[in-house]
Structure 1
Amino acid sequence: MDPISSRNRIGTKVACLFATVLLLGPANAVSADRLFHKPGLIYFWALNDPCSDETMEQMARAFAEGGVSAVCLHPRAGLLKPYGGEAWFEFIRRTVDRCAEKGLDVWLYDEDPFPSGNAGGRITMEYPEYRAMTIRRFEPARDAENQNLYCFPGGTLLWCGLVHEATREARDLTAQVGLVRRKWVELNPWDSRYYYPATPKVSCPRSWTREPEYAVEVPAIPDGFKLCAFVAQPTEAEHWDTDVDRLNPEATRQFLQRTHERYRAALGDRLGKQVQAIFLDEPKYGFGWPWTRDMFDSFRARYGYDLTPRLWQLFSRSDDSESMLTRLHVRQWCLDRFREAWMEPVSQWCRSHRLALVGHISPEDDLVQQSQCVSNLFPCFPYFTVPGFDLIIPRVGDRNHPLIHLGVLSAVSAAQQLDRPGVLSESLACSGLEFTVDEAARILRWQLMMGVTTHVIHCAYNSQEGLRRIEAPPDFGPRSSRWQGMVELGREMAGLQAWVRDATQIAPVAVLWPIRSFMAMPMETRAGENFTGDWPLRNETVELVRACLDRQVGIHLIDEADLWRADLADGRLRLGKAVYSHVVIPPCLVVHSQTVARLRDAAKMGVEVVQAGDPPRWQETERCLEPLAAAWPAAANRARAVAGLPRLLDLEDNGQDIRCTVWQSNGRTVKLLMNLNAQPVRARIGERELTLEPGRITVEAERKETNWGRSDR
């Protein structure tokens, strides 16, 4: 049978070899799978002006006529309708009803603007005790007048003392810390009017001091010691003076009362019907080392030691086992508290009100930032109805941007391992004013081929007046010149989504997620362009993933804790929908002892365990870090390790930037192929030759049973 292809005005081409491609109809078609929303594109509807009835009616009509899957009502910069008051929730109710009249499904957005958790900034404005706090380290400076006096900035004093990093001795001076005021202010002029009005003035030169700061007297600092002080100070936020403390369950309760409960009161039984979901956006416990008021007591109860005299180890560049273990414990405590205090209450509220919880946390792509903002995203994915990520630059995961692979792979891996019906991507923001629909199509096709089912387009703006035009360009909505092209792209995506919605991905190789190593490493504090610097260990993981994809190896990422709970039988690891015949250990510093034991068991049962690059040097136990002396499995360099992995597609030519995924659903198996190169690529697959056009998806139906766990060894 000849390949069947179709084109539209934005250059879409879908080819199917040896099978007829059955594309879904319009985006308002009902899907038979478990995914809660219609096929097609979802739009952030950016509410960024006075939101007049005329504007809202025009936008809603255009969305409905364009066949979009749903709209997410998103307060954005420029909003001139007061957020969070009674009139706001009445406005949202009217908007939901307006959309419902037109058959348009609605998602709510839980914040103005982002990240989620602060009710538009009102919580920290009215409840300063709910401000997020960050631990900051200071080396107190010697006073010019009193050579024994050392001063450092104010905040909540956590610990001060002398530290010898080589011997790890810490001498506590916290109780000796007091306050001084060293900033002199000259009151010029000063006279008696301030005390004796309606009386002849008497002038006198005066001055006083202000701005208290902490200080401690230390007659002499012993050799090898440093004087260190640790203070908790408010965490700055992009849109508000301070961020909210998401490690404090009381702050979360206040957020739910001011946002979710107000929406429930306004919308009633519309929740779970016309309103399908709530989108949360980029909540995290902060950047750096967070602090909340019960942290030290809770930490001691869990780990059995006082953290305060070891705070210096969080900031030290030392890689000794005790310092690494302290960092691991703090990161794990913060992750677990974030899940308990923030993720679980928000997720539970949505479940109890029949709403899907969607969105993402970020950063999904960067192991370094992720370890410093949320510790590890994999334990957070289960709280979502569908795991999500974002991509806010106009690029795809190719040879020039390999880091971008990690975000989509994380979410797709979690969805398969948790048996979730889809994967969400918030996409296309910050793509620039000249960005075209063709460029958007390439990105969305790449995401779909990788497993994304739920594309949320950022943004469709009410207004482009003034600086709104460059708030996060471009505009993809009904008032944009891109709109008709986006409508056509939405129809294409609605059809292609049929291959991946609620489908099982064939990915026989699991790459161990090495986040534990980054949690243990010293935190980089550089700013600006070198925010996360050039981290060789991160680069090793990124290049390993790219090498697998360039060789058309079907891969997932697997977190250590998920490896522990996977079923092991018949030479396979099974976790949700995912089935793995191979586990690849990337270069890393530390793994958990349970991981070592699980991998040994897997190898004995026939799973092939591959060490690609330098093996871990440490294993974390319940009490300490122990050297991992045994060189098991034998290490191979990256190229040799990848060459031995099973391929989804045996390309005879160079496979660089040729992507392939395999999906099973309703008794059918298909391969999705995409050429990310700028030029067409001639590919020979067995006895067939194909021309893979750049930026387009080719769909190939499987005709026979395939042993996807087979390697080339």
Structure 2
Amino acid sequence: MRQKGRFSNARSGTNEGAEENNMNIRKLENFRNPGSEYRGAPFWAWNGKLDPEELRRQIRIMHRMGLGGFFMHSRVGLDTAYLSDEWFECVAACVDEAKKLNMKAWLYDEDRWPSGAAGGLVTKNPAYRMRSLRVKLLDSTAGFRWTADTLAAFVAIIEGRMARDVRQVQRNSRPPALAEGEKLVAFVVEMHPCSNWFNGYTYLDTLNHRAVKAFIRVTHEAYRKRFGREFGRTVPGVFTDEPNHGDKLGSDSSTDSPGGLPWTGRLPTTFRKRYGYDLVPHLMELAFDVEGQAISQARYHYHDCVTHLYVDAFCRQIGEWCAKNRLLFTGHQLEEDSLSSQTNMVGSCMRTYEYMQAPGMDLLTEHWRVFNTAKQVASAAHQFGAKWRLTETYGCTGWDFPFAGHKALGDWQAAMGINLRCQHLAWYTMSGEAKRDYPAAIFYQS
């Protein structure tokens, strides 16, 4: 019996060794000739008048180049109406051609960037437009009037970002006469001005759950109705590009005022529910260091509340929709390059990554070494079990950027845990303004 046992163990060990050897051979072969999911997928700039047959031709070029897929990315110069029937005919041709070639056709959720407005189709509705709480410094009370958008007013001595002798003005009452050195500080909610960049409208109120639901309905649901059967197959995911909640206290070049703060209609109510007190009496602490206060709890709570609203309204809703519909939610946040810049534009990138099935980053130029950002992405992916960690990379490197440079940037990101490369940029055309769009182009033109 003992001899039989030893013989059985020997045979078992031999079989296990053979299986392990075969597995290693398969791994080596996959490394030599990786599948499409392991190959690069460039930003394919749709920047001219789109033609389905030309799109198919360019996909075949990408296939010969060894690329595994592409991101269908509306870009400056686009001469086909965004999200029109003609647009979707072009997307359909690309999904079909990618399927034939076993490539991946990634969606992109916006007309240019930042993601959220659907090229203005969502923000045609004023209720969904981004707003800021503007901080206005007035030398006189003569022109001041209370309006529905005026949240509060204070009288104070302002010295740079320091405020002394702060007194709140009772709502709807006439402000007192200003003493020498005093200013009237008004906090007024203002809608962002319309812009050609958003096709005559504005960016989205990304703190507003209803606004983001409208964005999902206009964009994501439109793709699902047409291509849902290929979700999780030929169409693996959707890229969101530089969403944000608006900057905090960016300088106002027209005045000496400190600028504005991200705002939405629900913010005061949400703040009170989360922290148990009213934010409005503490608004001065958001824009100034108030004399006598070493720290401001209200300022910390405001930043936390805005981050919560942004993550919950934008990232969670889209991430959950993608999970339900077998798509990977990928892309990157705006100004993720440092903790301070993240605080300014999105609050905390780490909190957004929880809802991204393939969290990502952006690496612009060959000079930036955003190691912390790469590790944040990889760390969040590890914590939440996400296989893919994306980088949008090589943007703004220029025509003279060598192959060795491309390899070096890719290598250090791979060492940091980044494993899905979205090369920036592959042009559909280089006619007109398109030729000046953040070279170099990694495509047939070069």
Q: What TM-score do the two structures reach when normalised by structure 2?
A: 0.83
| Counterpart Cα distance in 1 of 2:381 and 2:292 | 37
Rg larger in 1 or in 2? 1
Partner of 1:416: 382
Residue 272 in structure 1 maps to residue 232 in structure 2:
yes
Partner of 2:56: 57
Structure 1 residues 301 and 282: alpha-carbon distance in aligned structure 2, compared to 1, 3 A threshold: same
Aligned pairs for 1:538-687 (under 5 A) are none
For 2:132, the aligned partner's letter is T
Structure 1 residues 319 and 472: alpha-carbon distance in aligned structure 2, compared to 1, 3 A threshold: farther
For 1:158, the aligned partner's letter is L
Tell me, what secondary structure is at the counterpart of 2:205?
coil
| Counterpart Cα distance in 1 of 2:69 and 2:292 | 52
Aligned pairs for 1:419-430 (under 5 A) are 419-430=385-396
Residue 80 in structure 1 maps to residue 79 in structure 2:
yes
Contact residue 43 and residue 425 of structure 2 kept, 8 A: yes
Partner of 1:229: 186
Name which of 155, 162, 172 aligns with 1:162. 155
**What does the per-residue CA deviation read over 1:478-508, in whole Å, with 9 as the maximum and x for residues that have no partner?**
x232xxxxxxxxxxxxxxxxxxxxxxxxxxx
For 1:255, the aligned partner's letter is F
Contact residue 364 and residue 406 of structure 1 kept, 8 A: no
Partner of 1:262: 222
Residue 434 in structure 1 maps to residue 400 in structure 2:
yes
For 2:191, the aligned partner's letter is P
Tell me, what secondary structure is at the counterpart of 1:159?
strand
| Counterpart Cα distance in 1 of 2:421 and 2:50 | 25
Contact residue 391 and residue 418 of structure 2 kept, 8 A: yes
Gaps of 5+ in 1: 1-19, 31-36, 143-147, 177-215, 398-403, 482-713
How many Å apart are 1:367 and its aligned residue?
A: 1.8
Partner of 2:360: 388
Partner of 1:499: none
Aligned pairs for 1:31-70 (under 5 A) are 38-70=37-69
For 2:131, the aligned partner's letter is M
| Counterpart Cα distance in 2 of 1:368 and 1:320 | 25
Higher helix content, 1 or 2: 2
Partner of 2:197: 239
Structure 1 residues 351 and 424: alpha-carbon distance in aligned structure 2, compared to 1, 3 A threshold: same
| Counterpart Cα distance in 2 of 1:396 and 1:104 | 31
| Counterpart Cα distance in 2 of 1:368 and 1:153 | 34
How many Å apart are 1:152 and its aligned residue?
A: 8.2
Contact residue 55 and residue 90 of structure 2 kept, 8 A: no
Contact residue 140 and residue 152 of structure 1 kept, 8 A: no
For 2:433, the aligned partner's letter is L
Name which of 31, 34, 38 aligns with 1:29. 34
| Counterpart Cα distance in 2 of 1:50 and 1:117 | 24
| Counterpart Cα distance in 2 of 1:327 and 1:366 | 20
Residue 333 in structure 1 maps to residue 305 in structure 2:
yes
Name which of 167, 172, 177 aligns with 1:175. 172
Tell me, what secondary structure is at the counterpart of 1:231?
strand
Partner of 1:515: none
| Counterpart Cα distance in 2 of 1:163 and 1:391 | 43
How many Å apart are 1:319 and its aligned residue?
A: 8.0
- Greater RCO (Cα-Cα under 8 Å, separation 6 or more): 2
How many Å apart are 1:24 and its aligned residue?
A: 4.9
Structure 1 residues 217 and 321: alpha-carbon distance in aligned structure 2, compared to 1, 3 A threshold: closer
| Counterpart Cα distance in 2 of 1:56 and 1:26 | 29
Aligned pairs for 1:425-464 (under 5 A) are 425-464=391-430
Tell me, what secondary structure is at the counterpart of 2:240?
strand
| Counterpart Cα distance in 1 of 2:422 and 2:111 | 18
For 1:433, the aligned partner's letter is W
How many Å apart are 1:377 and its aligned residue?
A: 1.1
The alignment's C-alpha RMSD in Å is 2.6
For 1:102, the aligned partner's letter is L
| Counterpart Cα distance in 2 of 1:152 and 1:444 | 57
Partner of 2:348: 376
Contact residue 278 and residue 357 of structure 1 kept, 8 A: yes
How many Å apart are 1:374 and its aligned residue?
A: 1.2
For 1:101, the aligned partner's letter is K
| Counterpart Cα distance in 2 of 1:410 and 1:324 | 28
Contact residue 412 and residue 451 of structure 1 kept, 8 A: yes
Partner of 1:297: 269
Structure 1 residues 167 and 282: alpha-carbon distance in aligned structure 2, compared to 1, 3 A threshold: same
